Structure 1
Amino acid sequence: MIARAFSGTLVLAGLVVRRDRGLLAAWIAVAVAVPLFNAYSLGALLPTPQARADFAAASAANPVTATLLGPINDLSIEGVVAWRSSLQSLLIAGLAGLLFAIRHTRAEEDAGRRELTAAGAIGRQAALTAVLVVVAVVNAAVTLLLTAALALGPGYDLAGSLLFSLTAAAGGLAFAGCGLVTAQLAQSAARARSVAVGVLVAGVMPGVMVPDDRIGLLPAGWPRIARPYAAGQWWVPLVPLALTVVLLVAAYALSARRDLGAGLLRDRGGSTGPVRAGRLLRGPATLAWRLSGGQVASWTLTLAALSVAVGWVSASFDARFGDLPLMGELLGGGDALLAIFTYVFCLVVACLTVVCALRPYAEESRGRAAPLLAAPTGRTRWLAGHVGLGLAAPAVMLLAVGLGTGLGSGLSTGRPWTILAQTGTALLFVPAAWTIAGLTIALYGLRPRLTVPASWVAVVVSVAFVALWEARVIGREVFLVTPFGYGHPTISPGPVAPAAFALFAAVLVAVGGAAFRRRDLIA
């Protein structure tokens, strides 16, 4: 009986890998590249013990940095890199793990595919086990590759690199287990993702109210306690692994007892929604807002709150750290933290733009577009509703970033005119975000099945060019042809580059729309 429940696990695991081989490769590449990039960039930024001591003092005086990452206890370059990369690696592994787990469990139920496989020779627990096997293999690959990269690249200690990688991988497994549990509890994949991401944020952002002696109870404290390049605590990865076991037991128990499609955490309006649409739900544009507006609003509010916090603490950071020679060389002095975090927020908005632009593909692939397009709603009008929201969302989010950083900095420094400067800096990035959205729409019209992996690969490659530019591997001319080039804080763009990217984005959207009108819907 038990063996029957797991029958077909390896077949499903192979199917999962085949479907998402591009995403899995990108997951591994990003997880390895981020700590490696930090190793080389911080090695160039902080070459001496005194520079690292100044950096540690500035970080301790910054409430945001101190809250998220804690103190720098190891002033070796390896210790600083591990301190800087720990939260990033945990976020990458955790977010990828939980989203992947929900994608291949609850989302499969929403699409009706899980019921079809369950009617055959696939056991009830095979889907959960297949996801677990794939996530475990991916985290093992990241552990081995990252350990080798840190040991062979910058020449870090092999044992310390292994402990650092193991801690992040074990945390990723724990959050994948969280994703499997929420997939069983929630009534839809969207609700499962919201709950799981909320748990992730609560775990990696401990806040000032958690005492240092209790921080180890939260995921944010695991890398702090491990101290891979100092007094390496090899028992720390066992904590998230034990949590993973508990979560998996809960996920398997829930999966064995609930009906397909059922869930304790109900969506707004239940599983089918109200019988009649409201007065405002009368066209494709309002339907697009109904589907994605809540996400856009929550993202905007989150970015605004974080932007105000960064703007508020930027003055204290620059007073301590802005005089370092390399910082002055990179940014020419001025508001260093404000410029860096504004650019980082812009990159985050570009990633969120992809999520918005992928909504038409999601609706079509799930079979919800065909009934609408069979009615008087034309293809152009339906796609225009989603494209309009996909282009308006980054503009609104970047406006929130500019107003937030400007407001926080203005209140901290007594310079209210900073709001105008920061708003202009953030809005200058709108054409870059539109270019990413336009590329996604063009891919959706031309090659819909390549839309998801190709869009994210384009973002990853563009971010990689940012790292290559900051490492002085590529020249200015090459960097400026990428969407994220002209908005970098080390470059003073003229009006030509933003206008050119805005025009390019318009061409991409037109190409995608024309191709969508002519092709068949996804079967």
Structure 2
Amino acid sequence: AGLAAAVLAACGACLVFGLLTGLGVAAQGVPLAGAFALGLGFSSTGWVFAGVGAVAAQLTWGASGARGLGIGALVLAFLLRAAGDGSPAGWLAWLSPIGWAHRLRPFAGEQWWVLAVGLFATGVLVAAAVGLSARRDLGAALLPARLGRSGAKASLRSPLALAWRLQRGTLLVWTVCLALVGLLMGGVAQNVAETMRDNRAVAEVLSRLGGGGAVTDAYLAGTMTLFGLAAAGYAVQAALKLRAEETAGRAEPVLATAAGRVGWALAHLTFAFFGSAFVLTVAGWATGLAYGSGSGLVPAALAQLPAVWVLAGLAASLIGVLPRFAAGAWGLLAGFLVLSLVGTALRWNDVVLGISPFQHIPRLPGGPFSTTPVLWLLLIAAAAVIGGLFALRRRDIPVG
């Protein structure tokens, strides 16, 4: 029952995400079939990896082991897709769920039957997970767990090293996922642009979302905004790891050593700030690779960083000043997302839209670059972090 509920919840979430993606893209005036093919392609890929996760959960004892197997499956799928698209052996891409999403051909003569491939693979994986679940003992796993070390490595005896150990899985998952999305978005960019050129209403919406310029540039600029919002999600999650460690009682033993509060906090915030830069770099590179511009879209992706860092700084401030409401950082991100996407498309008041830091980011590629708003955003992010660290030094840390 627990396995079935988890799989249904994951597949349901993927379906909702795909439908919302289709609705969001269709709202820009593009053909409905192509919009929902794009969204359901995401859903289909998610369903397959939900099945992969179900199997991995039966094979391993802990979440970290299952996550490792899942990431390995993602990497393998990415390599198969890349090998299939970059060599005469195109059939290799059919071995990858990511390749199936591309074979749906959104905006280019949709092949709906490809969805059946994803559904069949998901069914096989879920059936395998059910069979494995019946073979293992409750609370055990089919693969034996490794014994841990009796003492920490020398390389783990610093706040930054410990933060890396705790944050690396999250960073890897976000990086791989955004790279895969970048490959898909970059791969369909030319087809989407060709479809939109004859539609003035769509061109106008893209101009608002992507900052004007050529249709292709506007589409890619809008894609970079989506990546910025996603990277902000990673930054918030990485920053909130501080609060998670605190509430779980694991921060107090660390702070009882020579590590100070500021050093401990900065170790985790390092990943919120520089990890988000890495995620955006990979996402921009993957999009450019699929689109055919190589690393040309990396600067456009990195232009989102000041807004991302504002979110990370606000999360740090909440942790220091209002720790019980630290999760409110997710609410801020959700609000900025609505303002940046829905509000922009519907032409909300500029004063209201200006609340979102993403409204002040240069729309690249194709748009003009202005230094002043970028510097203001960086200043706000720095002030938020400094304020959060100052408050963290002065407030109580729960013990045990």
TM score, norm. by length of structure 2: 0.71
Note if 1:250 corresponds to 2:117.
Answer: no
State, as a whole percentage, how many aligned pairs show the same letter.
25
| Structure 2: gaps spanning 5 or more residues | none
Residue 162 of structure 2 aligns with which residue? 287
Note if 1:440 corresponds to 2:322.
Answer: no
Residue 455 of structure 1 aligns with which residue? 329
Deviation per CA, 1:155-187: give whole Å up to 9, x if none: xxxxxxxxxxxxxxxx3xx75554344234335
Note if 1:367 corresponds to 2:249.
Answer: yes
**Cα deviation, residue 235, structure 1:** 12
| Match 1:38 to one of 9, 14, 22 | 22
Counterparts of 1:30 and 1:298 in 2: how far apart (Å)?
Answer: 16
**Cα deviation, residue 37, structure 1:** 5.5
Aligned pairs, how many? 376
Q: What is the CA RMSD across the aligned residues, in angstroms?
A: 4.9
Deviation per CA, 1:63-106: give whole Å up to 9, x if none: xxxxxxxxxxxxxx3x3232121023345xx4xxxxxxxxxxxx
Counterparts of 1:344 and 1:371 in 2: how far apart (Å)?
Answer: 39
| Structure 1: gaps spanning 5 or more residues | 1-5, 17-23, 47-51, 53-76, 95-170, 413-417
Q: Does the 8 Å CA contact 2:77/2:95 hold for their aligned counterparts?
A: no
Note if 1:89 corresponds to 2:43.
Answer: yes
Note if 1:512 corresponds to 2:360.
Answer: no
Counterparts of 1:289 and 1:240 in 2: how far apart (Å)?
Answer: 33
Task: Look up the equivalent residue of 2:337 and give its one-letter code.
Answer: V
Counterparts of 1:233 and 1:298 in 2: how far apart (Å)?
Answer: 24
Counterparts of 1:178 and 1:301 in 2: how far apart (Å)?
Answer: 16
Residue 496 of structure 1 aligns with which residue? 372
Task: Look up the equivalent residue of 1:284 and give its one-letter code.
Answer: P
Note if 1:486 corresponds to 2:363.
Answer: no
**Cα deviation, residue 333, structure 1:** 0.8
The alpha-carbon distance between structure 1 residues 456 and 241, as it changes in their structure 2 partners (threshold 3 A), is: farther
TM score, norm. by length of structure 1: 0.57
Q: Does the 8 Å CA contact 2:193/2:215 hold for their aligned counterparts?
A: no
Residue 333 of structure 1 aligns with which residue? 214
**Cα deviation, residue 434, structure 1:** 0.9
Q: Does the 8 Å CA contact 1:288/1:385 hold for their aligned counterparts?
A: yes
Residue 393 of structure 1 aligns with which residue? 275
**Cα deviation, residue 368, structure 1:** 2.5
Q: How does 1:407-418 map to 2 (within 5 A)?
A: none
The alpha-carbon distance between structure 1 residues 355 and 194, as it changes in their structure 2 partners (threshold 3 A), is: farther
Query: Which protein is bigger by CA-based radius of gyration?
Result: 1
Give 3-state SS (helix, strand or coil) of 1:349's partner: helix
Deviation per CA, 1:248-303: give whole Å up to 9, x if none: 23134324373xxx77375xxx543473522x444212332343346546865886
The alpha-carbon distance between structure 1 residues 44 and 364, as it changes in their structure 2 partners (threshold 3 A), is: closer
Note if 1:383 corresponds to 2:258.
Answer: no
Give 3-state SS (helix, strand or coil) of 1:376's partner: coil
Q: Does the 8 Å CA contact 1:354/1:456 hold for their aligned counterparts?
A: yes
Note if 1:431 corresponds to 2:306.
Answer: yes
Task: Look up the equivalent residue of 2:307 and give its one-letter code.
Answer: A
Q: Does the 8 Å CA contact 1:31/1:89 hold for their aligned counterparts?
A: yes
Task: Look up the equivalent residue of 2:67 and give its one-letter code.
Answer: R
Deviation per CA, 1:175-223: give whole Å up to 9, x if none: 5554344234335322312322444676699734675997799994799
Note if 1:354 corresponds to 2:236.
Answer: yes
Q: Does the 8 Å CA contact 2:362/2:370 hold for their aligned counterparts?
A: no
Q: Does the 8 Å CA contact 1:323/1:333 hold for their aligned counterparts?
A: no
Q: Does the 8 Å CA contact 1:82/1:228 hold for their aligned counterparts?
A: no
Counterparts of 2:77 and 2:309 in 1: how far apart (Å)?
Answer: 33
**Cα deviation, residue 312, structure 1:** 8.8
Q: Does the 8 Å CA contact 2:74/2:176 hold for their aligned counterparts?
A: no
Task: Look up the equivalent residue of 2:143 and give its one-letter code.
Answer: L
The alpha-carbon distance between structure 1 residues 484 and 263, as it changes in their structure 2 partners (threshold 3 A), is: farther
Residue 339 of structure 2 aligns with which residue? 465
Counterparts of 1:367 and 1:33 in 2: how far apart (Å)?
Answer: 35
Counterparts of 1:457 and 1:210 in 2: how far apart (Å)?
Answer: 43
Q: How does 1:62-211 map to 2 (within 5 A)?
A: 77=32, 79-90=33-44, 94=46, 171=47, 175-176=49-50, 178-199=52-73, 207=81, 208=84, 211=91
Counterparts of 2:171 and 2:115 in 1: how far apart (Å)?
Answer: 41
Task: Look up the equivalent residue of 2:309 and give its one-letter code.
Answer: W
